[in-house]
A and B are shown apart, each in its own frame.
Chain A
Amino acid sequence: MFSQIFILSPRGDTIINRDFRSDLPKSTPETFFRQAKTYSGDANPLFNVDCIQFAHIKRGGLYIVGTSRFNLQPAMSLELLDRLAKEIKDFCGVINEEVLRKNFILIYEILDESFDFGYPQLMATEQIKPLIVNEPIQPQPDSVMNSLRPKIQTFNIFVPNTMGSQAVQRSVLNKNQANEIFVDIYEKLNVLFNSSAYVINQSIEGCIQMTSFLQGNPPLKLALNEDLQIGRQQGQYSAGVILDDCNFHECVNANELDMNKTLRIQPPDGQFVVMNYRISGDYAAPFRLFPIIEEISSSKIEVTIKLKACFDAKIIASYANVRIPIPKQTANAYPELVKNAQQETAEYDSNKKIIEWQIKKLCGGQERSLKIKLTLQATQTAHTARKEIGPIAMNFEIPMFNVSRLQIKYLRIEERGNTTNPHRWVRYITQSSSYVCRI
């Protein structure tokens, strides 16, 4: 089990240091930080120095580290640290250096209830809430730390940024909170098209996530589609929503799922994932890409890409970005948008040899296109270079839309003793996970 848990600042200063078993040298934080700095970029989540196993995650720029000299399950170590981070976030609202420094006593309390002798004990926010005596100290809203945080969001294909929810940044210990609950249905799409826009492989990874600020944690009843079916038989066809597999949070009783398609939930405080599900069957991909490559001459290539939004016109994608890798031997590239194009940009990154096409808003049914004129260096001919174009990757987010058609029919509070009717917020979000078109 964990021997120590410590939290380090980005500069390697110890903010929290709790030793559970005293079987490791006191210098482990330095050992860890030195090793972590040897990696270019982010350090491996797990590494081993002199028979000491270090597991760490990074949250808000801080390293949350667990050490052990046992043959632990790595998935479990990481999950534990992640849970710890969630707990801290539930109590303090946010995780950053300033908040942690201000609340270090609270965090020691949390650590003591969460782990004993390095073994995980109570790790759910509402379970340890009665055992905690300290109140969180909120940082000044306009302090230096906050203003230093980057405000500009950059295009990053690996971490799709989602729209913020007002449900975050709040502590569960806040007494005069509103009586409300947020339900998010996230779906991440994996789609792979071949060059003729035919789908080779597709799947959906979805989850239903709740953030509960309900007073008294009353039991809930959540109803899903009536045509829902779990488990796919080979060769079977059904018009309903078929989930290949799903899993549930501990607080969920799924006994009635097969019969009534309802889940009974005893919601804990704060954020939790009610269920994860996975769908591998066919579904209508929300975007289609049609790339056309023409060799104009032996040193010139023209690439035309059409993007079609194949969903209802009432729905608007909040952003859609397309990324097109072009040949390494490109001398120059000119992306050309259609005339009168609005809220669209296309840029050529000559270092990475990538064209980035960003569309700010895209309504369902609309079509956009981009033409790229490439000039090659003399060393390569257009015929061989065209093979280096692609694969085209897309990154998007569509709010209030989900591909699987999994729906929340209702969310009821079972015993309504309270006079106030809590607010229930439901939103659907579809994002790309890996949305790729090969050429």
Chain B
Amino acid sequence: MAYFGNNQQRGELQELFTDLNDLNFDKKKEAIKKVIAYMTVGKDVSQLFQSVIKCLEFQDIEMKKLIYLYIVNYSRQKPDDAIMVIQNFRKDVRKSENPLVRALAIRTFGCLRVPKLNEYLIEPLKDCIQDDDPYVRKTAVLCVPKVFEVSPELCPALLELLQKLLEKESNALVLANLIQSMREIEVVNGKQLILMNPKIIQKLLLAIDECMEWGQIFILDYLATYDPVESKQAEIIIERTLPRLSHINPTVTFCAVKLILKYLDHLDNGDLVKNLCKKISPSLISLLSWNQPEIQYTILRNISLILQKFPILFENEVKVFFCSFNEPYYIKYEKLDIMVRICDSKNFNQVLNELMIYINEADPHFVRKTIKSIGKIGIMYDKALSEAVSILVEFAKNVQQANESVQELFIQMQILYRKNRNLYKTNDSLKILFNILEYANEPEAKSACTWIVGEFAEFIPKSVDKMKEYIDNFLIEDRLVQLQLLTSGVKLYIKYPSLCSALIQQLINSAKDSFNPDVRDRTYIYWRLLSTDPEIVKNLVCSVPTNSSQFQKDIRLWETKDLIIALENMGSISNLFHKLPNQLYKNIKIRNNHQQEAKIYKADEKQDIPQKEQEIKKEDQNQQIQQQPKQDFDLLNFDEPVSKSNNNKIDVYDLI
């Protein structure tokens, strides 16, 4: 250490060095505290390694704790010096009367993570796993995965010990750690370590009652990965889990919910299933009104998942999802989403009445989502259609400026008109919309407006002038608007051939040289068709769809096979993002799943509904794939691929 220079930092180190080698015990202790303080803020104090470990000879436990903290931090930088500590460790583990010291030593030892030191560790670790004191055992058990990570080749004997311990261990705390560390090794190793048998299950169930909340989480979480062999077994496990539903820790409650929901599939008794559902839903609702919005958010994100398989849980509970005014917006968005999912032919009126209130909120983004939701409900239920339109029309009457929510209004109105063409008469909706057409500025909204002008040309005074206005700006419009302008322009020409001949010429002229191949192609198709036989064009473009069944919305969040994986990971961060674990974390592999059908629990009776409509599914999937790169990992965003896929379908329809 003679090379300490004169500069500031060296000076400090020199001072510490002197203090550490001082004979006075208190001075030494103070010096070590300072060393730790430097370490915390990121200063390199590794040069003092030898002087620090010399202090290990004192039996003062506070000092020991500090020195161990230091060693853990620097052992990898100084593996050769760290060897000198080994003797001390072994002495602590073997000789010390104090279980605290034994546990402390073994815990620190495990954290060294220097491969060549690990062989010295195995024997003491074996002793500790068989220690009489549970505090030492619990620490030792967790030490095994630490060693396994660095040098797996040393571990087979340890793993055997763990398996033996699992059979005879009676302390709940140790058991919880045991399960957790064996699970972790299982993941790395790929081999099954825990051999579930009725005896062990019985033991784990007993341990749940005794161990602390975190241990309960470990054990419940593990049990949730297990497939019960028969209905009776599932029943027993569920019965023992039920008390956890009223635990104060939201994660314990949620793990219990997860376990029970999973085991429901294995129950034969239908009445029991119904009763269980009745018990689960109040607990879930309590979690929803948890006083931390963050927890609420995680639960809400999972509920949209649970709903897909268990609609029964929230039957008649739509009120729970009504937004209150002081909630953060990320909660409100989730609630809106769930309200649409939960909406059925019985309660849509209640939902619409609530949404009607939200439309007056201040935040334009929230209002936009509300309008979208109203549109969705209108599409889903024929009976809700006129109610939805009248709410939107009422909103349109008060529009004073171009903002986000107005854009959505046009988009949704277009979709609703498409579902039922006669709606234009309701409450003068067409007239009111026409008055605010100028507020459309987003491409999608503009395209909706042009569609409206073309479709209802005969009911709009000066529709030709309006169209001329649009066509004059053709070249600066977005592709989406251009495509729609072509179709609408042709529609108008069919309706008023003499009035629009100049107009259609202008349209084709500006569109035929477009840089966009889609626009160009569509122009040529119309052009050729018009020059061959306008009658065909009329049949194609102006025909009114007879059935509205294609507007059935698919609001499923997940595909069946993904749903099963997602349900297994319920509550985890990947579900928070509505993704599969392997999509979020590259290092996670998921179990392959060949199950094609999921049992859906409905309110009236439990039914097996094989998921059908392959087509929709495929399209959804494509949509999802397209969406994925766009989604960033911001928690507060939520994307809805569904409505867009619907729009695509409509576009296709227009073309044919």
Footprint of B on A, CB under 8 Å? 13-17, 19-20, 22, 44-48, 51, 53, 69-76, 78-80, 82, 104-105, 108-109, 112, 116-117, 119-124, 131, 133-134, 157-158, 188, 190, 192, 201, 203, 205, 231, 244-250, 254, 273, 275-276, 278, 325, 379-380, 384, 387-388, 391, 393, 433-434, 436, 438
Contacts and interface: CB of A to CB of B under 8 A. Distances in A.
Contact of A117 (B73, B145, B400, B581): B145
Contacts of B327: 434
A433 B293 CA distance: 12
Interface of B: 33, 36-37, 40-42, 61-62, 65-66, 69, 73, 76, 100, 107, 110-111, 113, 138-139, 142-143, 145-146, 177, 180-181, 212-214, 217-218, 245-251, 253-255, 282-283, 285-286, 289, 291-292, 294-295, 298-299, 319, 322, 324-327, 357, 360, 362, 398, 400, 569, 571-574, 576-577, 581, 584-588, 633-636
Given A245-B285, A276-B248, A434-B324, A71 B572 contact: yes
A210 to B, nearest CB: 12
B40 A247 contact: no
Contact of A104 (B37, B247, B255, B282): B37
B572 A105 contact: no
Contacts of A82: 292
B65 A17 contact: no
B283 A123 contact: no
B573 A248 contact: no
Contacts of A17: 40, 42
Contacts of B250: 75, 79
Given A74-B573, A133-B61, A205-B289, A393 B326 contact: yes
A71 B69 contact: no
A436 B634 contact: no
A69 B585 contact: yes
Most buried by A among B110, B294, B360: B294
Among A116, A133, A192, A379, max chain B CB count under 10 A is at A116
Contacts of B569: 71
A382 B101 CA distance: 78
A108 B36 contact: yes
13 contacts: A73-B254, A79-B249, A105-B33, A119-B218, A120-B214, A122-B212, A131-B100, A133-B61, A205-B289, A231-B282, A245-B286, A248-B246, A433-B324
A105 B254 contact: no
Given A246-B246, A249-B248, A74 B585 contact: no
Given A121-B177, A158-B326, 7 more contacts: A13-B41, A47-B634, A73-B571, A117-B181, A119-B142, A244-B286, A325-B362
B71 to A, nearest CB: 13
Contact of B571 (A75, A131, A379): A75
Contacts of B249: 79, 250
Nearest to B324: A434
Contacts of A387: 360, 398
Given A79-B295, A121-B138, A245-B246, A73 B572 contact: yes
Nearest to B214: A120
Contacts of B145: 117
Nearest to A159: B326
A124 B212 contact: yes
A102 to B, nearest CB: 11
B175 to A, nearest CB: 13
A45 B253 CA distance: 21
Given A123-B212, A201-B319, A438 B357 contact: yes
B360 A388 contact: yes
Contacts of B285: 244-245, 278
Q: By CB atoms of chain A within 10 A, which of B65, B245, B325, B585 has the most?
A: B325
Contacts of A438: 357
Contacts of A46: 294, 573, 576, 635
Contacts of A379: 400
A45 B587 contact: no
B325 A75 contact: no
B65 A14 contact: no
Contacts of B245: 247
A275 B248 contact: yes
Given A14-B40, A119-B177, A205 B142 contact: no
A190 B651 CA distance: 46
B588 A157 contact: no
B180 A119 contact: yes
Nearest to A203: B289
A116 B107 contact: yes
Contact of B635 (A16, A44, A108, A273): A44
Nearest to A48: B633
A404 B90 CA distance: 61
Nearest to A108: B69
Nearest to A68: B573
Contacts of A278: 282, 285-286, 289
B585 A434 contact: no
B251 A76 contact: yes
A134 B246 CA distance: 36
A51 B286 CA distance: 32
A16 B36 CA distance: 10
A252 to B, nearest CB: 8
A432 B584 CA distance: 40
Chain B CB count within 10 A is highest, among A13, A22, A108, A231, for: A22
Nearest to A46: B635
Contacts of A254: 246
B82 to A, nearest CB: 14
B298 A250 contact: no
Contacts of B253: 247
B413 to A, nearest CB: 20
Given A48-B633, A76-B217, A71 B246 contact: no
Contact of A72 (B40, B213, B254, B573): B573
A123 B176 CA distance: 14
B638 to A, nearest CB: 13
A47 B576 CA distance: 11
B279 to A, nearest CB: 9
A108 B69 CA distance: 9
B322 A201 contact: yes
A116 B139 contact: yes
A14 B217 CA distance: 31
Contacts of B100: 131
Given A75-B251, A393-B326, A434-B326, A44 B286 contact: no
Contacts of A117: 110-111, 142-143, 145-146, 181
Contact of B581 (A16, A71, A74): A71
Contacts of B180: 119
B388 to A, nearest CB: 19
Contacts of B212: 122-124, 250
Nearest to B249: A79
B149 to A, nearest CB: 8
Contact of B286 (A124, A157, A247): A247
Nearest to B292: A78
A1 to B, nearest CB: 8
Nearest to A17: B40
Contacts of A69: 585, 587
A307 B146 CA distance: 64
A51 B142 contact: no
Contact of B213 (A105, A134, A250): A250
Contacts of A393: 325-326
Contact of B576 (A74, A79, A123): A74
B36 A105 contact: yes
A192 B636 CA distance: 26
B224 to A, nearest CB: 12
A248 B247 contact: yes
For the complex of A and B, 7 pairs with smallest distance between CB atoms: A434-B324, A120-B214, A245-B282, A76-B251, A247-B246, A48-B633, A133-B62
Nearest to B319: A201
Contact of A14 (B41, B143, B573, B586): B41
Nearest to A160: B326
